[in-house]
Amino acid sequence: MTTPTRNLWPYAIIATFVLFAGYIGSMVQQALRTNVELVNPDYYQQELAFQQRMETVARTAALPSPVRVRYEGAAQRLTLQLPATLAGQTVRGQVHFFRPSDQRLDFALPLLPAADLTQRINTSQMRPGHWRVRLDFTAGSQPYFIDQELTIR
Protein backbone atom coordinates (compact mmCIF):
# COMPACT_ATOMS: atom_id res chain seq x y z
CA MET A 1 0.00 0.00 0.00
CA THR A 2 1.38 3.37 -0.98
CA THR A 3 1.04 6.41 1.16
CA PRO A 4 -0.79 9.25 -0.45
CA THR A 5 1.49 12.13 -1.39
CA ARG A 6 0.54 15.56 -0.38
CA ASN A 7 0.05 18.12 -3.09
CA LEU A 8 1.91 21.33 -2.24
CA TRP A 9 0.28 23.52 -4.89
CA PRO A 10 -2.60 24.80 -2.73
CA TYR A 11 -0.13 25.84 0.00
CA ALA A 12 2.14 27.56 -2.53
CA ILE A 13 -0.78 29.49 -4.01
CA ILE A 14 -1.99 30.58 -0.58
CA ALA A 15 1.54 31.59 0.48
CA THR A 16 1.94 33.62 -2.74
CA PHE A 17 -1.30 35.49 -2.08
CA VAL A 18 -0.35 36.15 1.55
CA LEU A 19 3.10 37.46 0.56
CA PHE A 20 1.61 39.62 -2.18
CA ALA A 21 -0.98 41.06 0.23
CA GLY A 22 1.78 41.79 2.76
CA TYR A 23 3.87 43.54 0.10
CA ILE A 24 0.91 45.67 -1.03
CA GLY A 25 0.10 46.50 2.60
CA SER A 26 3.67 47.65 3.27
CA MET A 27 3.67 49.77 0.09
CA VAL A 28 0.38 51.44 1.11
CA GLN A 29 1.76 52.09 4.59
CA GLN A 30 4.93 53.65 3.12
CA ALA A 31 2.88 55.79 0.73
CA LEU A 32 0.71 57.07 3.59
CA ARG A 33 3.79 58.02 5.64
CA THR A 34 5.43 59.95 2.78
CA ASN A 35 4.92 63.70 3.04
CA VAL A 36 3.97 65.07 -0.37
CA GLU A 37 3.56 68.81 -0.51
CA LEU A 38 2.73 69.92 -4.02
CA VAL A 39 1.83 73.47 -3.10
CA ASN A 40 4.37 75.87 -1.62
CA PRO A 41 3.31 78.41 0.98
CA ASP A 42 4.06 81.20 -1.51
CA TYR A 43 2.39 79.43 -4.42
CA TYR A 44 0.45 82.51 -5.51
CA GLN A 45 3.60 84.66 -5.64
CA GLN A 46 5.43 81.97 -7.61
CA GLU A 47 2.54 81.72 -10.06
CA LEU A 48 2.59 85.49 -10.60
CA ALA A 49 6.35 85.45 -11.14
CA PHE A 50 5.98 82.57 -13.62
CA GLN A 51 3.25 84.42 -15.50
CA GLN A 52 5.40 87.56 -15.66
CA ARG A 53 8.33 85.48 -16.97
CA MET A 54 6.12 84.00 -19.71
CA GLU A 55 4.98 87.49 -20.72
CA THR A 56 8.60 88.64 -20.80
CA VAL A 57 9.61 85.66 -22.98
CA ALA A 58 6.70 86.38 -25.33
CA ARG A 59 7.71 90.07 -25.54
CA THR A 60 11.28 89.06 -26.38
CA ALA A 61 10.08 86.64 -29.08
CA ALA A 62 7.90 89.40 -30.57
CA LEU A 63 10.87 91.70 -31.21
CA PRO A 64 11.29 92.46 -34.94
CA SER A 65 14.75 90.87 -34.90
CA PRO A 66 15.96 88.35 -32.31
CA VAL A 67 18.48 88.84 -29.56
CA ARG A 68 21.55 87.01 -30.82
CA VAL A 69 23.94 85.05 -28.63
CA ARG A 70 26.87 83.85 -30.73
CA TYR A 71 29.94 81.96 -29.57
CA GLU A 72 33.13 82.50 -31.55
CA GLY A 73 35.40 79.61 -30.59
CA ALA A 74 38.50 80.80 -32.46
CA ALA A 75 38.37 84.20 -30.76
CA GLN A 76 37.23 82.70 -27.43
CA ARG A 77 34.44 85.18 -26.99
CA LEU A 78 30.70 85.38 -26.74
CA THR A 79 28.93 88.13 -28.65
CA LEU A 80 25.56 89.40 -27.50
CA GLN A 81 23.68 91.44 -30.11
CA LEU A 82 20.53 93.27 -29.11
CA PRO A 83 17.99 94.25 -31.79
CA ALA A 84 18.33 97.66 -33.43
CA THR A 85 14.78 98.49 -32.32
CA LEU A 86 16.13 98.95 -28.79
CA ALA A 87 18.55 101.71 -29.90
CA GLY A 88 18.17 104.92 -27.96
CA GLN A 89 16.71 103.18 -24.93
CA THR A 90 18.46 102.66 -21.62
CA VAL A 91 19.42 98.99 -21.47
CA ARG A 92 20.22 97.43 -18.09
CA GLY A 93 20.47 93.82 -17.10
CA GLN A 94 22.46 90.75 -16.24
CA VAL A 95 24.05 87.94 -18.21
CA HIS A 96 23.88 84.73 -16.16
CA PHE A 97 26.10 81.76 -16.99
CA PHE A 98 24.93 78.41 -15.60
CA ARG A 99 26.97 75.23 -15.75
CA PRO A 100 24.48 72.35 -15.32
CA SER A 101 27.20 69.88 -14.34
CA ASP A 102 28.85 72.09 -11.69
CA GLN A 103 26.93 74.78 -9.84
CA ARG A 104 30.16 76.23 -8.43
CA LEU A 105 31.09 77.52 -11.90
CA ASP A 106 27.92 79.65 -12.24
CA PHE A 107 28.45 83.40 -12.43
CA ALA A 108 26.78 86.59 -13.64
CA LEU A 109 28.02 89.69 -15.43
CA PRO A 110 26.32 93.03 -15.94
CA LEU A 111 24.90 93.67 -19.40
CA LEU A 112 26.82 96.65 -20.74
CA PRO A 113 26.14 96.94 -24.48
CA ALA A 114 28.16 99.36 -26.61
CA ALA A 115 26.52 102.03 -28.76
CA ASP A 116 25.91 99.41 -31.48
CA LEU A 117 24.02 97.28 -28.89
CA THR A 118 26.76 94.63 -28.90
CA GLN A 119 28.62 93.21 -25.93
CA ARG A 120 31.58 90.89 -26.23
CA ILE A 121 32.50 88.60 -23.35
CA ASN A 122 35.84 86.81 -23.12
CA THR A 123 35.29 83.07 -22.61
CA SER A 124 38.93 82.00 -22.26
CA GLN A 125 38.55 81.52 -18.48
CA MET A 126 35.37 79.42 -18.81
CA ARG A 127 35.68 75.65 -18.66
CA PRO A 128 34.87 73.80 -21.87
CA GLY A 129 31.52 72.09 -21.95
CA HIS A 130 27.81 72.75 -21.82
CA TRP A 131 26.57 76.11 -20.47
CA ARG A 132 23.24 77.92 -20.29
CA VAL A 133 23.26 81.65 -20.94
CA ARG A 134 20.35 83.66 -19.58
CA LEU A 135 20.06 87.26 -20.57
CA ASP A 136 17.65 89.16 -18.32
CA PHE A 137 17.39 92.86 -19.15
CA THR A 138 15.14 95.88 -19.43
CA ALA A 139 15.10 98.36 -22.29
CA GLY A 140 13.24 101.51 -21.44
CA SER A 141 10.70 100.15 -18.97
CA GLN A 142 10.03 96.82 -20.71
CA PRO A 143 11.62 93.61 -19.37
CA TYR A 144 13.10 91.03 -21.77
CA PHE A 145 14.49 87.54 -21.25
CA ILE A 146 16.32 84.98 -23.35
CA ASP A 147 17.65 81.57 -22.33
CA GLN A 148 20.05 79.79 -24.67
CA GLU A 149 22.34 76.78 -24.51
CA LEU A 150 25.98 77.13 -25.39
CA THR A 151 28.91 74.77 -25.80
CA ILE A 152 32.35 76.19 -25.01
CA ARG A 153 35.22 74.39 -26.72
pLDDT in tens, 63-98: 899 999 999 888 889 999 999 888 888 899 999 999
**pLDDT given at position 7:** 87
State percent of the chain over pLDDT 90.
Answer: 46
Q: How far apart are CA 24 and CA 20, in angstroms?
A: 6
Residue 1 pLDDT class (50, 70, 90 cuts): low
pLDDT, the chain, mean: 89
Pick the CATH number of 52-152 from 2.60.40.3080, 3.40.50.280, 2.30.30.90, 3.60.40.10: 2.60.40.3080
Q: Considering only CA atoms, which of 74, 44, 75, 72 is closest in space to residue 150?
A: 72
**pLDDT given at position 45:** 84
Residue 36 has pLDDT above 80, yes or no: no
User: Which residues have CB under 8 Å from 80's CB, separation 6+?
Assistant: 67, 68, 69, 95, 111, 113, 118, 119, 120, 121, 135
